[in-house]
Structure 1
């Protein structure tokens, strides 16, 4: 998964060979030191130590980073700069909307062997966090949080809410995104985000409110000294998942 001279065997297994990893790798975060830790991928070379594993606790540094939505100074500056740019170009942007009780902070989840997991990426710019506040939908990219105006928020029923988002400054057919939130699990609040355009283009992603994060284990993509390729998770048939949900109507 990354270039470099090989120093130890590259292998993929369901269970960690803890003695081997301890000798070559040293200390890891979270569950990596536990004998029953499930390893998805391990690659040990002279240049780097790359381990992708399942962390079942919620005390790792990666978990704490993922659930922390507080802006540091750079995040705040980026948010404010993007906000002011939109306001300058379109003065009517960012009018306050009724939140209708929507959670504010959202984390993506992914499927591995038919279960759903949080994910700590190799590059934290790929964490995929999203925010819904009273006037904006916020994409949190590598360069920081990027707010786009909410035009409307409508609650269809207990399990479905529709947001209208002004994704672009241009007044074309695809400048508005309709974001439909389908809650498919009322306990964990597992939610399908359905992004659709007037042109008919749609895409989907699974999210949970940050308040539900402790209900999910985490897959951690760890490397000691360089970024790695992100893990490719199982594809989800979102249409079928939505159809099979009791809350799909």
Structure 2
């Protein structure tokens, strides 16, 4: 009986040592890809939206200049944008009787970001939200964007002509009030303007067009219906020093 007990103990020790020395095999789990990143087209083709099934995801260049996507872009109204932050700004600024007011004359008041693809200027209809839009009123400038929106009060107008506008702004931020210089200047390309927003936080630059001129350009549409898709990021890098 004692012999049997010794044998059992020895086998137990050997089994324990084997478990400790055997390397643990790591589980090779497949990388999970979010559903909204799957099957995003990388080649953008020119197409008439009427020939596409718009009940599912489509990424294409709309060249019709009069489709529902163009109508949506051109008829965009800031007041219809569901944005609590901008509603607060608009409500606050409209009640501020101390703001300076300027006469914009016939200068365009609604502006839209324009991009470049393969050297050509092109607009973009995002899957989620809108590309940056700018609204200039007689006492403030409103910046609408896909990530963050804000508004700055106008301090004074520096320059206004058919070629562009330059305005000094009072911008309220979390750390207090800062001065900013806002300018829109025409370029050598018809209906293409250069935007500069210069403040102590840095220089922001972008190419923009008057929103009512959208039908002069092609439009990339990222039509996502059932689920969010990643945004198209194959646009050209713009050299603002050209």
TM-score, normalising length from structure 1?
A: 0.68
> What is the aligned partner in structure 1 of residue 141 from structure 2?
137
CA deviations on 1:75-122 (whole Å, 9 max, x unpaired) are 59865532343578x763x32112143201111111000001111001
Equivalences for residues 45-84 of structure 1 within 5 A: 49-71=56-78, 75=82, 79-84=86-91
Larger C-alpha radius of gyration, 1 or 2? 2
Equivalences for residues 153-192 of structure 1 within 5 A: 153-155=157-159, 158-169=162-173, 175-185=178-188, 188-192=190-194
CA contact (8 A) 1:108 1:207 kept: yes
Equivalences for residues 1-249 of structure 1 within 5 A: 3-4=34-35, 12-13=42-43, 15=45, 31-34=48-51, 49-71=56-78, 75=82, 79-86=86-93, 92=98, 94-124=99-129, 126-141=130-145, 146-155=150-159, 158-169=162-173, 175-185=178-188, 188-198=190-200, 201-232=202-233, 233-240=235-242
Displacement of 1:54 in angstroms is: 0.5
**Using the alignment, how far apart are the partners of 2:213 and 2:134 within structure 1?**
14
**Using the alignment, how far apart are the partners of 2:40 and 2:203 within structure 1?**
39
**Using the alignment, how far apart are the partners of 2:80 and 2:164 within structure 1?**
35
Q: Residue 216 and residue 171 in structure 1: after superposition, are their counterparts in 2 closer, same or farther (change >3 A)?
A: same
Q: Give the count of matched residue pairs.
A: 207
Deviates more, 1:226-235 or 1:110-119: 226-235
Of structures 1 and 2, the one with the larger relative CO (CA 8 A, separation 6+) is 2
Displacement of 1:231 in angstroms is: 1.6
Displacement of 1:229 in angstroms is: 1.8
Q: Which runs of 5+ in 1 are unaligned?
A: 17-29, 36-47, 241-249
Displacement of 1:189 in angstroms is: 2.0
Deviates more, 1:139-148 or 1:177-186: 139-148
**Using the alignment, how far apart are the partners of 1:220 and 1:55 within structure 2?**
7
**Using the alignment, how far apart are the partners of 1:107 and 1:50 within structure 2?**
24
Displacement of 1:212 in angstroms is: 1.4
Secondary structure in structure 2 of the residue aligned to 1:165: strand
TM-score, normalising length from structure 2?
A: 0.70
CA deviations on 1:187-217 (whole Å, 9 max, x unpaired) are x321010111146x21211110122111111
Q: CA RMSD in A?
A: 3.6
**Using the alignment, how far apart are the partners of 2:82 and 2:40 within structure 1?**
38
